[in-house]
Amino acid sequence: MRAAKEPGRPAPGKDGFEGGNAVRVVVGVTGASGAIYGYSLVRTLNELGVELDMVVTRMGEQVLAFECGVKKPELARYGRIWANDNMFAPIASGTYLTDGMVVMPCSMNSLGAMANGVGDTLLYRAASVHLKERRPLILVPRETPLHLIHLQNMERLALAGAQIMPASPGFYHRPKEIWELTSFMVARVLDALHIDHDLMERWGKHMAPRTE
Ligand SMILES: Cc1cc2nc3c(=O)[nH]c(=O)nc-3n(C[C@H](O)[C@H](O)[C@H](O)COP(=O)(O)O)c2cc1C
59 lines ligand 1 (CB under 6 A): yes
Distance CA 42, CA 28 (A): 10
131 lines ligand 1 (CB under 6 A): no
Rounded to two decimals, the pTM is 0.91
- The amino acid sitting at 90 is P
Q: With 90 as the cut, is the pLDDT of residue 205 above it?
A: no
How high does pLDDT run on average in the chain? Answer: 91
Instruction: Convert 57-68 to b/e letters by CB count within 10 Å (16 or more is b).
Output: bebbbebbeeee
Pocket test for ligand 1, best of 107, 123, 154, 164 (most atoms within 8 A of CB): 107
pLDDT tens, 104-162? 999 999 999 999 999 999 999 999 999 999 999 999 999 999 999 999 999 999 999 99
Atom 22 of ligand 1 has which residue's CA nearest to it? 31
Q: What is the CATH number of the domain that holds 126?
A: 3.40.50.1950
Q: Could you give the number of structural domains in the chain?
A: 1
Judge whether 11 lies within some domain.
no
60 lines ligand 1 (CB under 6 A): yes
Judge whether 173 lies within some domain.
yes
Judge whether 61 lies within some domain.
yes
Judge whether 80 lies within some domain.
yes
Judge whether 1 lies within some domain.
no
> How far apart are the CA of 62 and the centre of ligand 1, in A?
10
Locate the ligand 1 atom nearest the alpha carbon of residue 84 and give its number.
26
> How far apart are the CA of 6 and the centre of ligand 1, in A?
35
Cα separations (Å) of 81 from 17, 46, 76?
14, 13, 6
Judge whether 25 lies within some domain.
no
Distance CA 26, CA 212 (A): 46
> How far apart are the CA of 143 and the centre of ligand 1, in A?
9
Distance CA 96, CA 167 (A): 28
Q: Identify the domain containing residue 149 by its residue range.
A: 34-99+116-192
What average pLDDT score do residues 17-42 get?
A: 90
> How far apart are the CA of 36 and the centre of ligand 1, in A?
14
Distance CA 4, CA 23 (A): 5
Distance CA 128, CA 170 (A): 30
Number of other residues whose CB lies within 10 A of the CB of residue 195: 21
